[in-house]
Every structure is written in C-alpha cells, then in structure tokens.
Structure 1
Amino acid sequence: MDDRLERFLRSKLRKAGKKVEERRRSTSDQISEAKEAYRNARDTALADLPQDEHGRAKIVCRRYVERRAVRLDPEGRPACFDPDHPDCEGCAEDVRDGRVETW
C-alpha cells in the first residue's frame, strides 16, 4: 500500500475513533445524569409521603381499597406489590410519581 494512502487512512481512522470515544463519554455522562435525576425525584417523592411512627408509608391500596402502612423497596414499590396485578403496577407508578392516595 502506498505510504501516503496508509497515513491518510490512519489519520482518518484515528479521528473517527476519537469522535466515537467522545460520543461514548458524552452519552455515558448523560445516562448517569438521567439516573441521578430519577433517583433524586424518586427519593423526594417517597420522602413527601406521610409516614407512621415506624417509618412506613401511609397509602391507600388500589387493589383492595384499604388504608395501609407499608415499607417501600428501593424501586418505590410497596411490600404488598404483586407484579402480575395491574392495580399494583399502577400503585407503584403513583408512589414513584408522588401522587398516590394517602391518609
């Protein structure tokens, strides 16, 4: 291969590699920032829920329409959460968004 062509291709590939790495870092930073914002929003929403003397969230269960004091897992789901029930999924979403019915 001609030396000039080889140098040209190497320089173009090097530039492309640098751009790919910059984009990867930028995307990684954006993802980290988004995760942090989600965690902060979730923690704020959970902190805003009324709690009983044991630190359990006081919510109204959508599935059984009753008042409950429950512990929440790190994902913002009540201890009684059933992943196969649509009311439970909606309740968990409302808890994370801070708009669940409380007492």
Structure 2
Amino acid sequence: MRAIGEEAFDALSNGESVIEHPEAGEVVWRDDAGVTCRRWNWRQGRRTGLADETRAAFFILDVPAPVTDLELTAAADALAQALSALDSEVRVLRRLVDAP
C-alpha cells in the first residue's frame, strides 16, 4: 500500500523511541494502528519487530525474476538452519505459494 504521509511509524533512533511519518507515496505495510514496515522492508517498526522475547515469527521470501525456485529453496534452507541453531525447541514450518 502507498502511504499518504500522515501515518505513524514507531521506530528507534539512537536507542530512543521516535514517531516518524513515511513520505507520501512510499510503499508501506500498515494496519489500523499504524505503519509496521517501511521502504520495502528495510525499516521494521518496533511494534512488529523481532526481539529476544519473540516466540512466533512469520518470514516472507519474495522471488522476483531472475531468482529461481532453487535459489529460493536455498535461501529458505539457510534461514531455517540459522533459526534452528538458536534453540533446540525452534520449530520451522514452510509453505510455498506460487503464482497460478
């Protein structure tokens, strides 16, 4: 979705909480409480960011051309391996959604 420029984005700057506003027309992820992610996922908001206390997470791996399914699988394998190395109780589930 494209921002109108008035949406709140709860971020950190030099370790301090700040409210920023995306530029009008900027691509953002948002819900009714505000922007959760900016700049094509380069800026993650504090409300939906990962922390030491995180117990459930959802990762989306987009595959723009010319990335192949084999490269996607390798990236997903690497992510799953890195997450699994964090704790023996980590459980990784995967689902491939393909265009019709």
TM-score (norm 2): 0.19
Structure of greater relative contact order (alpha carbons < 8 Å, 6+ residues apart): 1
Name the one with the larger strand percent: 2
Name the one with the larger helix percent: 1
